[in-house]
Amino acid sequence: MASMAALPESPITEVVDLRHLAAGALDEVLEEETRQWREVLAWDFSAPGLLVKRFVDMQSLNGRALIHAGRVVGYTYTVTDEDKGLIGDLYILREFATAAMEDKLLNATVETLYRTAGVRRIESQVILLTYPRPTPPAHATDLRLFERYYMVCDLRRTHRWAESESPLLDVDVWSERYQEDTATLVARAYEGHVDGNINDQYRSVSGARRFLQNIVQYPGCGSFFGEGSWLAWRRDTGRMCAAALASIVAEDAGHITQICVSPSSRGQGFGREILSRSLRSLREAGCQQASLTVTAANRNAIGLYESMGFTVERRFAAMVWEHIRPVRRFFL
């Protein structure tokens, strides 16, 4: 009787510690991710990608790597900030980017953060991740999911922007000396707001201060554009009441990293005026488009953005795992 031929083995897919990768092992993934950011979002991912590569090659960046048949096909990186874990990015080569592969990498990353001492909360906003998710991620009972929009305005077209300056406001461009007042405004503007559930830095002045330092100093949201970042104060009180902060994310594209108005100053056109200033500044700097992100539940903000020429280009999820129980340590 003839022997039965052996069936070919299925390729093995595994998730490993990102710090175990050899230098250059992630290059193919980062190169494709850079192209995708440009094609899908019009962002230049080169600077963040080089920063990721640098720390991966130094084996000093926390995260997970997805390996299929011995080939690195995806990664995540994570950062811990006090009692919070941040999933900074998740990307898988398009050839392998099925929902099942995304789940495998995402769930492994969440599990690792759950086992990290001191982490009580996890936040994640990955614009290129498949949405909606076909299946719930790990620890779904602790998860809150918020739908968000990536909106874009074509700056080459004429839009309904504010045409005149409000006599109620004093306005100036960003300066480091305004950072503390801006942090106070952000915390005040997001008190009781849905976005405070997504990013807990908005809940306090100290957290807002760290948020501002991140967008001004680091390239995650592009290169901070001080000349296009505008602040407004009420003349009757002298208090800062509105802010629109901008960055350059490609030579022809800008992004509004933050826009907020204090609760007592809403409904008076201040948001429209301050955002109009930032959009004009971006256009004068050579940008052909401007983008921003907004939570789907924030209907008033979406209405303002749509009236100013923004349209929804992509939907994605902000995921927050809360009330994570402390890791127990056993000593013999």
In tens, the pLDDT along 155-184 reads 999 888 987 789 999 999 999 999 999 999
Cβ(55)–Cβ(61) under 8 Å? yes
Residues in the chain: 332
Domain hosting 234: range is 152-316
Strand ranges (DSSP E) for 93-174?
121-125, 143-154, 169-173
- The answer to whether residue 271 sits within a structural domain is yes
pLDDT tens digits, residue range 1-24?
Answer: 445 555 556 789 999 999 999 999
CA triple 137-18-86, angle to 5 deg = 50
pLDDT at residue 58, as a whole number:
97
pTM over 0.75: yes
* Residue 323 resides in a domain: no
Which pLDDT value is given to residue 5?
A: 56
Q: Are residues 83 and 206 in the same domain?
A: no
Statement to judge: residues 184 and 72 lie in one domain: no
With cut-offs at 50, 70 and 90, classify the pLDDT of residue 328: low
Please check the confidence at residue 96 and state whether its pLDDT lies above 80: yes
Q: What is the Cβ-side half-sphere exposure of residue 71, based on CA atoms within 13 angstroms?
A: 10
Q: Which tens digit of pLDDT belongs to each residue from 228-280?
A: 999 999 999 999 999 999 999 999 999 999 999 999 999 999 999 999 999 99
Read off the tokens for 180: 């503390």
Q: How far apart are CA 108 and CA 102, in angstroms?
A: 10
| Same structural domain, 128 and 156 | no
Same domain, 194 and 47: no
Question: If 0-12 CB within 10 Å is exposed, 13-18 middle and 19+ buried, where does residue 9 land?
Answer: exposed
pLDDT at residue number 106: 98
Q: Are residues 93 and 181 in the same domain?
A: no
**CATH code assigned at 278:** 3.40.630.30
- Please indicate, yes or no, whether residues 54 and 196 belong to a single structural domain of this protein: no
Residue 312 has a pLDDT of 98
Q: Quick one: 121 and 228 in the same domain?
A: no
Do 157 and 207 lie in one domain? The reply is: yes
Evaluate if residue 32 carries a pLDDT over 50. Answer: yes
Judge whether residue 134 has pLDDT over 90: no
> What is d(CA 246, CA 275) in angstroms, rounded to the nearest whole number?
9
Query: Does 259 fall in a domain?
Result: yes
Q: What is the pLDDT of residue 325?
A: 87
Phi, psi of 242, deg, nearest 5: -155, 150
Do 234 and 309 share a domain, yes or no? Answer: yes
Question: Last residue of a domain, which of 105, 138, 171?
Answer: 138
Residue 330 clears pLDDT 70, i.e. is over it: no
Higher pLDDT, 160 or 145: 145
Q: Could you tell me which of 195, 84, 205 has the C-alpha nearest to residue 147? A: 195
User: Quick check: is 329 in a domain?
Assistant: no
Same domain, 173 and 308: yes
Query: What's the total number of domains in the chain?
Result: 2
Mention every residue, 6+ apart, whose C-beta is less than 8 A from residue 316: 125, 126, 127, 128, 129, 131, 147, 148, 150
**Is there a single domain that holds both residue 157 and residue 299?**
yes
Whether residue 96 is found in the same domain as residue 189 = no
